[in-house]
């Protein structure tokens, strides 16, 4: 049960604060009941018996009751707010830490915008469950019980009315809460999809504008917004059904009490003090009774939110380190061996099929081939973004599946095809690669990546804040910062996945010269289309349909007329790039 799990995970950490809040809530309940209890003395002694000696005691008691109530209300409100804020912060951090432990496959199968929307909407559910539980039982329930005691003590017969009308209300509320559960879940799902659609639209606004997609996006989002509005309206209808029910029942009970009390006062000449005390207790009991009546409904909504948070937290990491995993030691220069590698995404077709080759230590191995050949997938196995479904990846003879991922990734610098920059300054983004890097080392890496000069032209140089994913930089500038970040890493293994794809010829030439020096004495796996990059490689691996079809040096492969590599060169039209758009033409020739 979600409520039990939340209390088990958090109750002990906040026990002192909750005890303090509970004491405050008990004082509130006691002072509320005291106000109802003292009304008999107020009416009888002040207005019927006109006893002036008792009036001052009554007034002092009322004043003390309100002072205690005010101080207790402040204490419990501040205490519960602090606990609630800490709970939200704790689960936000816990979610971040857990998401960081999940494999890349989870994020490739789940939309990032949906994850963000789900977290932002539902994380407060944990806080609401705890606060509703403590306030309902320590304040509302105790207040109601105390007032019921006053009512029974003042007039047992009149009290029977309350116990007669309560069961039908509880049965009706239970029925409403069951229907509310599914409606709340649907509303949360649709709201997260609305936020997801909005976030994706903002992130892809240039594509939206370029393809005049405004009307299509608006129409698609309008459907989601309409569906979300419908679910929210349904929740409102279900939730507010309690109001006419409780108001009607309360009206029947109070009118019945007034009629009975008036009858006794008129015909039996009973002093009105006990009646006023009873009716005060009954009226004061209405508010906690109403809150308790809605407790199951409000708690159900909070539990649905909390349950969706636990769905993320309960997601098992798919690539955890094996028991006894050790740190990897690069003692032979970082030789990478792919041994009989097979891989498929989920239950789909094989992307890699029996791939075997060695990337020699301290040398550059280029991987080329048409689109869909499996080049990027192959490189992603080295830092264990994914694990092969068959075969082994070995570094210096050690199967990387047996080493700690964190240790493995510290030995690797990676530049992806699509550079990604994070919130913060340019310097912050470069330092992510190695937190202990000095400013001098960061600037040297930027010089090697041909980024130093344009960084200095920014408004605040290296301390210039970046827009979302570096939106205030050009594509080539973002890629050069990404390359500089890899150089700051200063790792023995360098992975380049189309690292120069976003650069113009002039910048590419400068970066390539810098990469030539950065590659020296490192093991480099590079995916590239630029002939200048490929030709300098010590070994070229040619892939097609997930298999290695050729391997050798540029000179060896170029001399093979019927080979795929020579055809890739031919289709480039003699230019400086080997293109991936030859797949269909190859199929026609074959």
3-state helix, strand, coil in the chain (%, to 5): 65, 10, 25
Residues 6+ apart with CB under 8 A from 400: 328, 382, 384, 393, 394, 408
Q: Assess if residue 264 is contained within a domain.
A: yes
pLDDT reading at 580 higher than 60? no
Give dist(CA 301, CA 184) in Å, integer: 6
In angstroms, the CA 379 to CA 543 distance is 13
Do 140 and 169 lie in one domain? The reply is yes
Q: Which of 313, 332, 364 is the last residue of a domain?
A: 313
Q: State how far Cα 220 lies from the chain centre.
A: 24
Could you tell me if 299 and 326 lie in one domain?
no
User: Is residue 25 one of the residues assigned to a domain?
Assistant: yes
**Does residue 49 lie within any of the structural domains?**
yes
Q: Is 380 in the same domain as 298? A: no
* pLDDT surpasses 60 at 586: no
Q: Indicate which CATH number applies to the domain containing 274.
A: 1.20.1560.10
Picking from 513, 458, 502, 457, the residue whose alpha carbon sits closest to that of residue 480 is 502
253-303 residue pLDDT tens: 777 777 777 777 677 766 667 777 777 887 787 778 777 767 777 777 788
pLDDT in tens, 43-69: 777 666 667 777 778 788 888 888 998
Between 526 and 126, name the one with better pLDDT: 526
Provide, rounded to the nearest whole percent, the portion of the chain with pLDDT above 90: 15
Q: Are 223 and 337 within one domain?
A: no
Specify the length of the chain in residues.
590
Q: Is the pLDDT of residue 25 over 70?
A: yes
Instruction: For residue 430, report the phi and psi dihedrals to the nearest 5 degrees.
Output: -70, -35
Q: What is the mean pLDDT of the chain?
A: 80
More confident residue, 9 or 338: 338
pLDDT, tens digit, for every residue of 241-254? 767 776 777 777 77
Give a yes or no: residue 490 inside a domain.
Answer: no
pLDDT at 332 > cutoff 60:
yes
Q: Are residues 247 and 364 in the same domain?
A: no
Q: How far is CA 450 from CA 47, 453, 500, in A?
A: 93, 7, 12
Rounded Cα distance, 14 and 126, in Å: 14
272 and 393, same domain (yes or no): no
- Number of domain units in the chain: 2
How does pLDDT run across 364-405, given as a tens digit for each residue?
Answer: 999 988 888 889 899 999 999 888 999 999 999 899 999 998
Backbone angles phi, psi at 96, to 5 degrees: -60, -45
DSSP-assigned letter for residue 326? B
| Gap between the Cα atoms of 321 and 299, Å rounded | 39
Any domain includes 555: yes
Do residues 221 and 194 lie in contact, with contact meaning Cβ atoms separated by under 8 Å?
A: yes
Angle at 323 between CA 319 and CA 328, to 5 degrees: 75
pTM over 0.85: no
Closest CA to 375 of 217, 264, 496, 196: 496
In this structure, the answer to whether residues 28 and 147 fall within a common structural domain is yes
How far apart (Å, rounded) are the C-alpha atoms in residues 173 and 233?
Answer: 18
CB half-sphere exposure, 426, CA atoms < 13 A: 29
| C-alpha distance from residue 557 to each of 354, 564, 568, 582, 590 (Å) | 21, 9, 11, 17, 19
Look at residue 164 and tell me whether its pLDDT is greater than 90: no
- Whether residue 336 sits in one domain with residue 285: no
Q: Where are the alpha helices (DSSP H) in 338-438?
A: 375-380, 405-410, 426-431
Contact 103, 380 (CB under 8 A): no
User: Which CA distances in Å does 51 have to 39, 45, 278?
Assistant: 14, 5, 21
Q: 244 and 335: one domain?
A: no
Structure tokens that stand for 338 in this block: 């792919």
Q: Residue 336: pLDDT above 50? A: yes
Q: Provide the b/e sequence for 295-332 (b: ≥16 CB within 10 Å).
A: bbbbbbbbbbbbbbbbebeeeeeebebeeebeebebee
Contact indicator for 426, 458 with CB cutoff of 8 Å:
yes
Q: Which residue has the higher pLDDT, 574 or 319?
A: 319
Domain boundary among 313, 347, 366: 313
One domain, residues 294 and 376: no
Q: Is residue 473 part of a domain?
A: no
Q: Specify if 482 maps to a domain.
A: no
Pick the most confident of 88-92, 110-114, 282-286: 88-92
Residue 235 falls inside a structural domain:
yes
The pLDDT confidence band at residue 240, using thresholds 50, 70 and 90, is: confident
Which band of pLDDT confidence, cut at 50, 70 and 90, is reported for residue 420?
Answer: confident
Co-location of 234 and 334 in the same domain: no
- Retrieve residue 150's tokens: 């006053």
Cα separation, 133 vs 135, in Å, equals 6
For the record, the structure tokens of 470 come out as 């570096």
Is 465 in a helix, a strand, or coil? strand
CATH number of the domain encompassing residue 378: 3.40.50.300
Q: What is the pLDDT of residue 211?
A: 66
Domain around 578: 321-405+531-590
Could you give the CA distance from residue 111 to residue 106 in angstroms, rounded to a whole number?
9
241 and 349 share one domain: no
Q: Which of 529, 511, 521 is nearest to 565 (CA)?
A: 529
Final residue belonging to a domain, choices 313, 333, 367: 313
């Amino acid at each position: 049960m979600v409520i039990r799990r939340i209390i088990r995970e958090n109750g002990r950490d906040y026990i002192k604060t909750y005890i303090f809040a509970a004491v405050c809530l008990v004082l509130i309940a006691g002072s509320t009941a005291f106000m109802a209890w003292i009304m008999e003395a107020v009416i009888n002694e002040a207005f019927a018996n006109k006893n002036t000696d008792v009036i001052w005691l009554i007034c002092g008691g009322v004043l003390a009751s309100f002072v205690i109530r005010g101080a207790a209300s402040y204490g419990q409100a501040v205490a519960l707010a602090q606990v609630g804020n800490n709970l939200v912060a704790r689960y936000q951090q816990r979610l971040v830490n857990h998401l960081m432990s999940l494999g890349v496959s989870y994020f490739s199968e789940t939309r990032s915008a949906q994850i963000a929307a789900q977290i932002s909407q539902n994380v407060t559910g944990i806080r609401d469950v705890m606060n509703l539980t403590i306030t309902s039982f320590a304040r509302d329930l105790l207040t109601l019980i105390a007032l019921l005691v006053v009512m029974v003590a003042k007039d047992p017969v009149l009290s029977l009315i309350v116990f007669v009308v309560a069961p039908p209300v509880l049965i009706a509320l239970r029925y409403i809460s069951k229907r509310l559960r599914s409606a709340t879940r649907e509303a949360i799902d649709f709201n997260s999809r609305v936020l997801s659609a909005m976030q994706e639209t903002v992130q892809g606004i240039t594509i939206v504008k370029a393809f005049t997609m405004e009307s299509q996006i608006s129409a698609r989002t309008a459907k989601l917004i309409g569906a979300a509005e419908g679910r929210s309206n349904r929740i409102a209808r279900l939730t507010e059904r309690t109001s006419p029910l409780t108001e009607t029942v309360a009206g029947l009970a109070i009118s019945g009490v007034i009629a009975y009390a008036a009858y006794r006062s008129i015909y039996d000449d009973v002093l009105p003090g006990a009646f006023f005390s009873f009716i005060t207790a009954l009226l004061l009991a209405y508010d906690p009774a109403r809150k308790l009546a809605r407790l199951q409904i409000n708690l159900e909504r909070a539990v649905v939110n909390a349950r969706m948070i636990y769905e993320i937290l309960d997601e098992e990491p798919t690539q955890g380190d094996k028991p006894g995993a050790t740190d990897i030691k690069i003692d032979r220069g970082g030789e990478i061996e792919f041994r009989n590698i097979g891989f498929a995404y989920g239950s789909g077709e094989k992307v890699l099929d029996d791939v075997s080759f060695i990337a020699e230590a301290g040398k550059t191995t280029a991987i080329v081939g048409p689109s869909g050949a499996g080049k990027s997938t192959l490189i992603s196995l080295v830092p264990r973004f994914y694990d092969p479904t068959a075969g082994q990846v070995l570094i210096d003879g050690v199967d990387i599946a047996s080493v700690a991922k964190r240790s493995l990734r510290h030995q690797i610098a990676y530049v992806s095809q699509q550079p990604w920059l994070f919130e913060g300054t340019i310097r912050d983004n470069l330092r992510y690669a190695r937190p202990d890097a000095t400013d001098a080392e960061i600037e040297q890496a930027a010089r090697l990546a041909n980024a130093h000069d344009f960084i200095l032209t920014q408004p605040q140089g290296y301390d210039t804040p970046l827009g979302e994913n570096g939106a205030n930089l050009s594509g080539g500038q973002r890629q050069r910062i990404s390359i500089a970040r890899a150089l700051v890493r200063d790792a023995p293994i360098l992975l380049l996945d189309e690292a120069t794809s976003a650069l113009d010829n002039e910048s590419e030439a400068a970066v390539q010269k810098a990469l030539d020096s950065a590659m020296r004495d490192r093991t480099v796996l590079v995916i590239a289309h630029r002939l200048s990059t490929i030709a300098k490689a010590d070994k070229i691996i040619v892939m097609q349909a997930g298999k290695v079809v050729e391997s050798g040096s540029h000179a060896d492969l170029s001399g093979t007329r019927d080979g795929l590599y020579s055809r890739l060169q031919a289709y480039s039209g003699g230019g400086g790039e080997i293109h991936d758009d030859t797949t269909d033409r190859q199929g026609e020739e074959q």
